[in-house]
Structure formats: C-alpha cells, structure tokens
Chain A
Amino acid sequence: MLAENLSFMGHARDRGTFNRLSGDTGLHLVFPAGEQAVRRALATATGAFKGMGLDPDAIELAELVLAEVFNNVVEHAYAAHAGGIIELEAWRDTDRLHMRVRDDGVPMPGGALPKGQRHDPKVETRDLPEGGFGWSIIRDLAQDLRYQRDGMRNDMSFALDLGEFAISR
C-alpha cells in the first residue's frame, strides 16, 4: 500500500522549479522538498509578504510557521521518498494572511495533525526533548488550522492574524 502510493508521488507538477505565478496580492510557489529548497522558498515567501505590506513581526511569525510546516513535510511526509514537491499558496485580506500547503507525501498518521507537546518546566535537563517543538509552534501561531487528505495529496491550510500586530505595535 505504502510502496504503491510512493510510486505516484511527486509527478503532479514540474518539480525542481520555483514558480511564482501570482502578483502582489498572492503567492504561488512550487518547490522541491529539500532543506536548501525550503530555505529558498522561505526567502521568496518573506519577500512576497513584504510586498503584500505585512508588518515585519507578522512576516517573522509567518516564516516560522511555514518553516515548521515545510520541515514536517520534508522529514515526515516525504521521509521514505527520495524527492517530491511542496506547493505553497498564500494570500492576504485586510486582517489575515492565508496559507495553504500541499504535498504528495504519505498521509498524516491517523489522518489528523499531531498535537503540540508542551514543555514541562519540571523536567530535568538530561530529559529535555530535542524535538517535537514544531507542532506546538504551529498550533500556537496559526489560526484555523485544517488538514485533509485529498486523494494522493496532503492539503493543509491555516491563517495568521494580522490585526494582532497592528495592535501590539
């Protein structure tokens, strides 16, 4: 079942290319699932967010959430796969930045997004976790977090509240 799924992954798009298809109001990026490509995609996305008129604080948090989401795709959805593509769509309205991330990797375990694990301050230094921070960051910062398995694809969407930053500044 798994091998059968894997053989179909990553062919839906022209992988290996960065395509910015839309104008100032939206961003559409398609890029290969790899650590260096994630870096470049984040640089492109933050540049586009600046072009959308987002506050530097909002851009910082959007970059962090996207980094966590992309890393998760690279490390888990495509873990058993040599390559694949990640697709990002982002657009803003007055008070929100909307983001949608899709990939052709394996589904989320149990068909749902993992819970974030919270740090317990009573834990001894030697027992501190060295991972698992990603989902708690995503869940803390993202609103309207949604996930669905759409045929062979993972389809995740979330939003970042921009009004929060207008008030805090």
Chain B
Amino acid sequence: MDLSTRDLDNIRIVTVNEPRIDAAIAIQFKDEMRALVHGGPARVVLDLSHVGFIDSSGLGAVVAAMKQSGTAQHFELAGLTRSVKKVFALTRMDRVFTIHADVTAINGGLADAG
C-alpha cells in the first residue's frame, strides 16, 4: 500500500500511489487512512489522481476514511480519474464528498507551494 502525505499549513494531502483501490487492498487502505486522518490537520485531502480503478470495496474504504475524520475536520477528494468518477456517480457518493478537480486547485494553488 503506497500512500504519500504532504502537510501544508492546515491541510494534509494524502496521495494514493496505487493504480487500484480494490478488494485486495481495501482493508489495508482503511487501516492506513485511519492513522493519517485521526488527529491530523483540519483538512485532509485524498488525492486519487493515480487511481485508475476503484470497486465497491475500495469505495467503502474511502467512505470509512471520511467517517474517521473528526467533527472539526474536513475530508475531501481530489483528482478523480474518469473511471473512478463514474463509480462515485453511479453510487451517488459524488453528492456526499467535496471533490476537487486536482490538488493544485485547492486553496488557490497553495498545494503547489509544497
């Protein structure tokens, strides 16, 4: 499970460096996200730009990660690829998450400064 993180002021960007979030890694993903979200900064942005495939197990793990965020925390998504976007739309989870086109668009390009 390859996740990389960057902290910028009050934002933590977690980039998933895996081509797939599927049943084979969903549990591990959920566990590692728990550690990165819990007690993290006020905003956590999950960068999915390298993920070309997500199944319902992976989607459930992303939902679980969001649910792990505290009441004062925001959990957001960025960089959904076409096929990942389709799964979010099919399951209507696109209405549940704040979704950014890509991480560089967050906070007026602040993310790029890192």
A residues near B (Cβ < 8 Å) are 35-36, 38-39, 60-61, 63-64, 67-68, 71, 74-75, 118-119, 121, 125-126, 128-134, 136-137, 140-141
Contacts of A68 in B (CB 8 A): 55-56
Given contacts A71-B55, A119-B96, A131 and B87 within 8 Å (CB-CB): no
- State the CA gap A64–B53 with chains docked (Å): 8
Overall SS of chain B's interface = helix
Stretch at the interface among B16-24, B32-40, B43-51: B16-24
- B residues neighboring A (CB under 8 Å): 20, 22-24, 53, 55-57, 59-61, 63-64, 66-67, 82-83, 86-87, 90-93, 95-96
State A121–B92 Cα separation when bound (angstroms): 8
Q: A133-B59, A133-B91 are in contact. Are A128 and B96 (CB under 8 A)?
A: yes
The answer to whether B24 touches A39 (Cβ under 8 A) is: yes
Most buried by B among A64, A71, A130, A134: A130
For residue B91, which residues in chain A have a CB less than 8 angstroms away from its CB?
119, 133, 136-137
Partner of B20, one of A39, A126, A130, A136: A39
What number of residue pairs across chains A and B have CB atoms under 8 A from each other? Answer: 77
CA distance A133 to B63 in the complex (A): 11
Q: Besides the contacts A60-B86, A119-B91, A130-B64, what 9 more A-B pairs have beta carbons closer than 8 Å?
A: A35-B22, A39-B22, A60-B83, A64-B55, A119-B92, A119-B93, A129-B63, A130-B67, A133-B91
Contact B60 A130 (CB under 8 A): yes
How long is the Cα–Cα vector from A74 to B57 in the complex, in angstroms? 12
Find out whether the CB atom of A137 lies under 8 angstroms from the CB atom of B96.
no
A101 and B93 alpha carbons, distance in the complex (Å): 28
CB distance from B68 to the nearest CB of A (A): 10
A121: B residues at CB distance < 8 A: 92, 95-96
Q: Is the CB of A63 within 8 A of B53?
A: yes
